[in-house]
Amino acid sequence: MDKIRAWKAGDDEKQAEVAEVRAWFRKLRDMAEAVNTQKEKVQRQLDAATRVTQSFSGMPMSPGNGDKILDAVCRVDGESRELSRMMSELTKLRVEAISRTFCIVYAETSSSLRDADALRAYYIECETRDAQGNFKLKTYLDVSIELGVAQSTACDSIRHGLEALAEIWPDISKSCA
């Protein structure tokens, strides 16, 4: 059976604004995932450099062995610099996201605080570990457990927070730019 949907004037525009806010906050989750990937890449480079050095210890040096060590060190240095740049960018983005999230906390009502807290948990502090200790992004279930609310309440709080931000987004985007 088809669902009946009621359309209100301005809904498409409102949804577009919410989508813009969601996309901006989504950058935080994407960047956190990219930083984790870069950390793993740096660790792989360090492991490779350690293997190269260990295989040369105690052995007479032959031509080209120094090049392998130098290449490994250069790769580690390049990847570490990129990781530092990415972490700095993520930190700046998180600071801006926190200031924007505080814009929806009005009169410190429990609902506005919960909305802001849900946005913080899902988008800003989005990293967690699974049972094996591997990196993963928080799910709605993880957020609901962290906040001590039902999963549907966490989803609703995130949605309400994004909608509240969408109403004031043009103003806070100009002031933060």
Number of H helices and E strands in the chain, helices first, is 5, 2
pLDDT, residue 177, reads 47
Could you tell me if residue 1 is inside a domain? no
Could you tell me if residue 104 is inside a domain? yes
Per-residue confidence band for 2, with pLDDT thresholds at 50, 70 and 90: low
Could you tell me if residue 148 is inside a domain? yes
Could you tell me if residue 82 is inside a domain? yes
Nearest alpha-carbon partner for 161 in 106, 119, 99: 119
- Please write down the HEC assignment for all residues of 39-79: HHHHHHHHHHHHHHHHHHCCCCCCCCHHHHHHHHHHHHHHH
Could you tell me if residue 86 is inside a domain? yes
Could you tell me if residue 5 is inside a domain? no
Range of weakest confidence among 53-57, 84-88, 98-102: 53-57
Model confidence pTM above 0.85:
no
Other residues' Cβ atoms within 10 Å of the Cβ of residue 68: 15
Task: Kindly report, residue by residue over 9-25, the tens digit of the pLDDT.
Answer: 457 777 888 999 999 99
Helix axis angle for 65-102 and 11-56, nearest 10°, is 150
Could you tell me if residue 136 is inside a domain? yes
163: Cβ contacts below 8 Å, ≥ 6 apart: 14, 18
Could you tell me if residue 6 is inside a domain? no
Task: Kindly report, residue by residue over 107-141, the tens digit of the pLDDT.
Answer: 678 899 999 999 999 999 999 999 999 999 999 99
Other residues' Cβ atoms within 10 Å of the Cβ of residue 16: 10
Q: Whole-number mean pLDDT of the chain? A: 85
If one counts the domains in the chain, the total is 1
pLDDT, residue 53, reads 56
Which residues span the domain enclosing 102? 12-176
